[in-house]
Amino acid sequence: MRGATGGIILLITLASLSCSRDVGDVDTSRPAEFGFQTNLQTSLVEEGRSAYLRYCTGCHGDSGDGNGKAARFLHPRPRNFVVANFKFSSVRSGQLPSDADLRRTIVNGLKGSAMPPFELLPARTVDALITFIKTFSPKWKERPQVSPIPRVEDPYRRDQAKGIARGNVIYHGYAQCWNCHPAYADEASLNRYRGMVGSAPLTAFRANLDQAVGKPNAEGEVVYPPDFRRDFVRSGADIDSLYRSIAAGITGTAMPTWVDSMEIPGENPGDPPLVETEDLWAMAYYLQDLIKQRPKKFSEEQVVLRDRRHTIVRPGELPTPVTEATEVGTEDFEEAEEFEEEDE
Ligand code: HEC
Ligand code: HEC
């Protein structure tokens, strides 16, 4: 009896001692001097884990494989952090994104997909989430040093109309973005634009030029590139984001990295270049102009088409035919796209 009481007292004393050591004495807001690097990392991972289980797991899944409970209803599917093909970044397609890229995705969300913006989370929680989702794939440890895509000076800031006109020529005449995205010009104009950048005219064009062409992604799903006059761009419609998406490309999808294909010298020595990296900005302004032309209110049929389940077609599935009765109720469907005001 006595021994038992003594034991209990000893236990209580020990418990209170250890409590006071763990909670009372240690200021966790500041890194301890000793071994603080690893401590900081471990506590970030733990913090990230609990935030992840609270906010992300329903879609991205406990094991990070993109198979959360809600995932089977979602097109596009939530990212698989184990495979780690991150789409939106400031590095060349195929490389892992920077922390700033991940932060942008988490804070802003991805418009037109189920990925919500987590703009109210404290910065430290977002850092913790970033640290944690990197534990799902060994790719992060093996990662070679990568540098962000070059960001040339924007020559069109003060003359956006010039950028839009030039972007139209580059989009249609040089880059042929319409191999996948829709063309917004007729065949005669496409050849005229080709002439302006030193390319020979084409004699044949693909069918349905005004529509996007489905392209398989790395997971074998058929993805439809956005029609900029109808669909959302996911990672931002401000001019910097458009530059980034076009220049960097989109990992794991057909969307190429453009920044390395933008230098075509003039025909004769001394001539100005036919195409230059600055033209990436021109295309960004051109796309933004297309996006701004989107109707503020869509008819039900247009919304159904935009949110069509076959934006992504899973292997073995057929595209769902577009019918009037599908999904969304839309009488007052208002579009709001945020554009950063570019004032200095
Ligand atoms: C309601 C579902 C949902 C929730 C909740 C959700 N996500 Fe996502 N997330 C998605 C979808 C869908 C995508 C894929 C979008 C795409 O492919 O365009 C995605 C993509 C991502 C990407 C990849 C972006 C890229 O470049 O490929 C990251 C990173 C991400 N989510 C982080 C998070 C984090 C962190 C949380 C929790 C704080 C979270 N998500 C919560 C649905 C969700
Ligand atoms: C070989 C096919 C292909 C070509 C060529 C192509 N794209 Fe894409 N693009 C895609 C696909 C596929 C997607 C959608 C990827 C996804 O979200 O899964 C896409 C998406 C985009 C996006 C959306 C980014 C976002 O945030 O959602 C932009 C912007 C874009 N492309 C611009 C361009 C421009 C400009 C060109 C020409 C310079 C171009 N693309 C050429 C296939 C292509």
- Ligand 1 close to Cβ of residue 56 (< 6 A): yes
Please indicate whether residue 196, judged by its CB atom, sits closer than 6 Å to ligand 1.
no
In a domain, 19, yes or no: no
Residue 265: inside a domain: yes
Give the residues of the chain that fall short of pLDDT 70.
1-38, 302-344
In a domain, 192, yes or no: yes
Q: Kindly state if the Cβ of 244 falls inside 6 Å of ligand 1.
A: no
Clarify whether residues 97 and 168 are in a common domain: no
168 and 289 belong to one structural domain: yes
How would you label 212-233 residue by residue, b for 16+ Cβ within 10 Å and e otherwise? bbbeebebebbbbbbbbebbbb
**At which of 294, 314, 336 does a domain end?**
294
* Pairwise CA distance, residues 230 & 290, whole Å: 9
Output the pLDDT for position 327.
38
pLDDT in tens, 161-187: 999 999 999 999 999 999 999 999 999
Hey, whose CA ends up nearest to atom 42 of ligand 2?
Answer: 255
The residue type found at 23 is V
Q: Is the pTM of this model over 0.95?
A: no
How far is it, in rounded angstroms, from Cα 114 to Cα 74?
7
203 with 279, same domain? yes
Helix (H, G, I), strand (E, B) or coil at 34: coil
Q: Are residues 181 and 288 in the same domain?
A: yes
Say yes or no: CB of residue 255 within 6 Å of ligand 2.
yes
Q: Which atom of ligand 2 is nearest to the CA of 176?
A: 37
Q: How many domains does the chain have?
A: 2
Please check whether residues 274 and 172 belong to one and the same domain.
Answer: yes
Considering the domain architecture, whether residues 133 and 181 belong to the same structural domain is answered as: no
Please count the CA atoms within 13 angstroms of the CA of 130 that sit on its side-chain side. Answer: 20
| Full residue range of the structural domain in which residue 74 is found | 38-142
211-265: per-residue pLDDT in tens? 999 898 998 888 889 999 988 899 999 999 999 999 999 999 999 999 999 999 9
Is 115 close to ligand 1, i.e. is its CB under 6 Å away? Answer: yes
Ligand 1 pocket: which of 44, 59, 85 to mutate (most atoms within 8 A of CB): 59
Same domain, residue pair 184 and 288: yes
Nearest to 280 by CA among 307, 256, 301, 308: 256
Same domain, 246 and 173: yes
CATH number at residue 77: 1.10.760.10
The predicted structure's pLDDT at residue 146: 82
